[in-house]
Amino acid sequence: MKALSTRGIAPPVAISQAIAAGLAPDGGLYMPEHWPTFSPADFAGDETLAAVGKRLLAPFFADDAIGERLDAICDDAFAVTPPLRRFGTGDDFVLELFHGPTAAFKDYGAAFLAGCLGALPRGEVPLTIVVATSGDTGAAVGAAFHRKPGFRVAILYPDGRVSPRQAHQLGCFGDNVRAFRVDGSFDDCQRLVKSALSDAEFRSEVPLGSANSISLGRLLPQMTYYAHASLMHWRKHATTLNFVVPTGNLGNGLACVLARRMGLPIGEIVLASNANAVLPDFFAGGDYTPGPSIATLANAMDVGAPNNFERLQWLYPDAGGLRALLSADAVDDATIRATIVDAWQRQGEAICPHTACAVHVLQRRRAAGASGDWVAVSTAHPAKFPEVVEPLIGQAIALPPALAAMLERPSHAQALADDGEALRDLLRHG
Ligand SMILES: *Cc1c(COP(=O)(O)O)cnc(C)c1O
């Protein structure tokens, strides 16, 4: 299948070429040229996440250079089937997407992307993956490419705006993975990465790849866990599942919308934002007004200008039509804290600040009379955010083993000014 740019100027390219490129040369984001549709019966016999992923993603890669390797890529990236379990006593569920190497949902997309890029022919010069992160992306991408021959990774993160434990994780890989702490915000990091990626002359000098949620190679695989969870629920209860998705750059929420578009038994979709309310404002009827990001407790969602909105608008150009498809709600820091305390006291569940946004938005929906089966998507393990969660619940949270091993390694990050030329210099030499 071909991929098209949302800006409509760059020519269509093969899906794998779009994955390798990251950003389209006209500055747009790539999208598949059409969306195959399925019915739940098409997945008969598919039990695991990997099995669902192979069937769901096959049409995109049918005539592609990656096609032959797709099953192996899925076996690797989707090895962990995320638990879907009840949360509390009613019809609320939680989908735990944090059982991968860095304990956040981004492990799925990063591993799939690394598998795709590893399956494509490359030149002699290693490919440098440049990635901006507000915390979790960088670690997931670092883990996915660490010691992968033919690849280097440059992680850019906003200095002082990620938690100490996240910062440690970002700098602990070594070898072919380097961390840069940028004097600026996440949006500044993202702009730096975009400026390097859209510089054709520089890319002919230093071959670059993208791994941000703008990469189609991360967006497509994220549909898989929504497909899997909704199918399992459909088989058991014969009802659609409604989702609340913690949202920052809108990659995860968009994947849920796309899975529903492909015919999976998904009902309502609600985006849960933190105090960065650009999406809630739009879905409440306001204009789309991206702005600078605000620092919050759910820092992986501190995004003032969600990149993937461009994809959503491209798919659904009419604002009214778009607002009919999904909704969004904002949660402030005080409410995040109260929700973490409440989940602990009433259910004995420790949840991360991002998950807390979704849990609270679901509570609001229930209070407003929402019926049916709803899932709050749990995007990270609470042990990634001990500074926030532990004082609220009054005890230490045990680390998942993979995370514990990572935190025992030494960590190093290099300072970088918010300056495109400084970044290009560092990427040239090193
Ligand atoms: C990245 C991230 C989010 C936001 O996901 P987007 O795809 O950027 O909307 C939410 N929660 C956690 C824990 C994250 O790491």
Q: Are 3 and 18 in contact (CB under 8 A)?
A: yes
Say how many Å lie between the CA of residue 157 and the centre of ligand 1: 15
Assess whether the C-beta atom of 379 lies below 6 angstroms from ligand 1. yes
Average pLDDT over residues 400-405: 90
What's the CA gap between 326 and 320, in Å, rounded? Answer: 11
Q: Which two tokens stand for residue 278?
A: 């650009």
Is the pLDDT at 426 greater than 70? The verdict is: yes
Q: What is the average pLDDT score of the chain?
A: 94
Assess whether the C-beta atom of 274 lies below 6 angstroms from ligand 1. no
What's the CA gap between 315 and 347, in Å, rounded? Answer: 40
Query: Tens digits of per-residue pLDDT, 344-355?
Result: 999 999 999 999
Inter-CA distances, 131 with 126, 219, 295, Å: 16, 15, 20
Of 344, 348, 350, 339, nearest to 380 by C-alpha is 350
Assess whether the C-beta atom of 251 lies below 6 angstroms from ligand 1. yes
Average pLDDT over residues 80-102: 95
The pLDDT, as a whole number, for residue 390 is: 97
Q: Are 110 and 217 in contact (CB under 8 A)?
A: no
Model confidence at 71, pLDDT cuts 50, 70, 90, reads: very high
Assess whether the C-beta atom of 381 lies below 6 angstroms from ligand 1. no
Sheet containing strand 30-32, strands side by side: 13-14, 2-5, 30-32
Is the pLDDT at 377 greater than 70? The verdict is: yes
Query: Tens digits of per-residue pLDDT, 294-335?
Result: 989 998 898 899 989 999 999 999 999 999 999 999 999 999
Of 279, 282, 289, 271, nearest to 319 by C-alpha is 282
The pLDDT, as a whole number, for residue 185 is: 87
Number of H helices, E strands in the chain: 18, 14
Say how many Å lie between the CA of residue 404 and the centre of ligand 1: 21
Q: Whose CA is nearest to atom 8 of ligand 1?
A: 249
Assess whether the C-beta atom of 300 lies below 6 angstroms from ligand 1. yes
Domain borders along the chain are 77-105+217-399
Is the pLDDT at 430 greater than 70? The verdict is: no
Amino acid at 221: P
CATH class of the domain at 77-105+217-399: alpha beta
Average pLDDT over residues 405-427: 93
CB-based contacts of 343, cutoff 8 Å, min separation 6: 349, 350, 351, 356, 359
Assess whether the C-beta atom of 335 lies below 6 angstroms from ligand 1. no
What's the CA gap between 162 and 102, in Å, rounded? Answer: 15
Assess whether the C-beta atom of 213 lies below 6 angstroms from ligand 1. yes
Residue of 29, 99, 105, 302 to test ligand 1 pocket, by largest number of atoms within 8 Å of CB: 105
CB-based contacts of 302, cutoff 8 Å, min separation 6: 134, 161, 185, 186, 248, 274, 276, 293, 294, 295, 296
What's the CA gap between 110 and 116, in Å, rounded? Answer: 10
Say how many Å lie between the CA of residue 69 and the centre of ligand 1: 28
What's the CA gap between 200 and 198, in Å, rounded? Answer: 6
Is the pLDDT at 117 greater than 70? The verdict is: yes
Model confidence at 39, pLDDT cuts 50, 70, 90, reads: very high
Assess whether the C-beta atom of 355 lies below 6 angstroms from ligand 1. no
Helix or strand run (H / E) with residue 179: strand 177-182
